[in-house]
Amino acid sequence: MKAFLTGGSSGIGQHFKQHLESLGHDVIAPTRQELDLSDPTNINVDLKEYDLLILCAGVDTNGRQEFYKMKPSDFVNTINVNLTSNIILIHQYVQQRLFKPCSKVVVIGSQVVDGYYPGYGVYGTTKHALDAFMNTIKYELKDKNIGFTIIHPALTKTNFNRNRGNVPEDQVNDLYDQIPHMQTSDLIPIFDQIIKDKDNLITKVSLTK
Ligand SMILES: NC(=O)c1ccc[n+]([C@@H]2O[C@H](COP(=O)([O-])OP(=O)(O)OC[C@H]3O[C@@H](n4cnc5c(N)ncnc54)[C@H](OP(=O)(O)O)[C@@H]3O)[C@@H](O)[C@H]2O)c1
């Protein structure tokens, strides 16, 4: 199979990319320099040859600050990367893959969709919205031969916390010291099931430790 994957430079996306490659699949994973998701208006990708569209990129820019201390550019970046760019990529993929025999969109959400957590106002909103979007288009496009799956991982040890910005180096791992968490490898078994799910029956998965 041929996959187009975002977020392949780090964390969950990097592990998915390496795993697909180890199974012999062909994975194109543009770097941020090649496809910057903070500017959705500039996204124009030829996706017609890909059986799989796997959207792992995500941020919570300066999200460890309280909301009133964030800059508008922080939350606009989080919304653009996590939500708007994903919708634009899915729109382009669907337009280019209509009625092809095997197409699947896999998106990484987050278990923040299970509730409403102080400190996750903007990030949580992007994941709730992504969940709503995926659950809506899977019904709207149910006769178009395209599968839609959203994976909601609980806390997983990656560079995500460090990449939020404004996190002192001695605190980048504090979440992992305090809270039970997964490794990226814990997501691989369900990821395998999702990409083998030819009937597109798996539409939503939550994973926790
Ligand atoms: N880790 C967790 O606990 C957890 C839990 C639930 C859900 N998630 C979700 O899982 C996904 C992957 O996160 P992760 O934990 O693997 O974090 P990560 O290690 O920080 O990886 C984030 C990825 O997103 C890419 N990215 C960020 N901004 C970008 C931009 N403007 N343009 C293109 N790519 C950009 C990063 O590229 P660079 O290398 O260039 O920065 C990196 O490849 C995210 O959607 C996150 O919300 C994470």
Q: How far is the CA of 181 from the centre of ligand 1 (A)?
A: 16
Pocket test for ligand 1, best of 32, 55, 190 (most atoms within 8 A of CB): 32
pLDDT score for 136:
97
Q: What mean pLDDT is reported for the chain? A: 95
pLDDT > 70: percent of the chain: 100
What distance in angstroms lies between residue 58's CA and the mean position of ligand 1's atoms? 4
Query: Is 52 near ligand 1, meaning CB less than 6 Å away?
Result: no
111 CA closest ligand 1 atom index: 6
The predicted pLDDT at position 174 comes to 83
Q: Which pLDDT value is given to residue 13?
A: 98
Mean pLDDT along residues 142-155: 96
The model's confidence at residue 173, banded by pLDDT at 50, 70 and 90, is confident
pTM: 0.97
pLDDT, greater one: 34 or 168: 34
The mean per-residue pLDDT over the stretch 119-145 comes to 96
Band the pLDDT of 99: cuts 50, 70, 90: confident
CA 121-106-10 angle, to 5 degrees, is 70
Q: Name the band, by pLDDT with cuts 50, 70 and 90, for residue 4.
A: very high
pLDDT value for 80 = 98
Residue 11 CB-half CA count within 13 A: 20
Atom of ligand 1 nearest to the CA of 13: 16
Residue 168: count other Cβ atoms within 10 Å of its Cβ. 8
- Residue 147 CB–ligand 1 contact under 6 Å: no
Instruction: Please work out whether the CB of residue 38 comes within 6 Å of at least one atom of ligand 1.
Output: yes
Contact 45, 4 (CB under 8 A): yes
Which fold is adopted by the domain 2-207? Answer: Rossmann fold (3.40.50)
pLDDT at 64: 87
Q: If pLDDT is split at 50, 70 and 90, which confidence band does 165 have?
A: confident
User: Residue 106 pairs with which residues in a beta bridge?
Assistant: 54, 149
Instruction: Report whether pLDDT(169) > 90.
Output: no
Euclidean distance between CA atoms 47 and 55, whole angstroms: 13
The mean per-residue pLDDT over the stretch 133-158 comes to 96
Which residue has a Cα nearest atom 36 of ligand 1?
7
What confidence score (pLDDT) does residue 172 get?
A: 82
Q: Which of 57-61, 92-96, 159-163, 165-169 has the lowest mean pLDDT?
A: 165-169
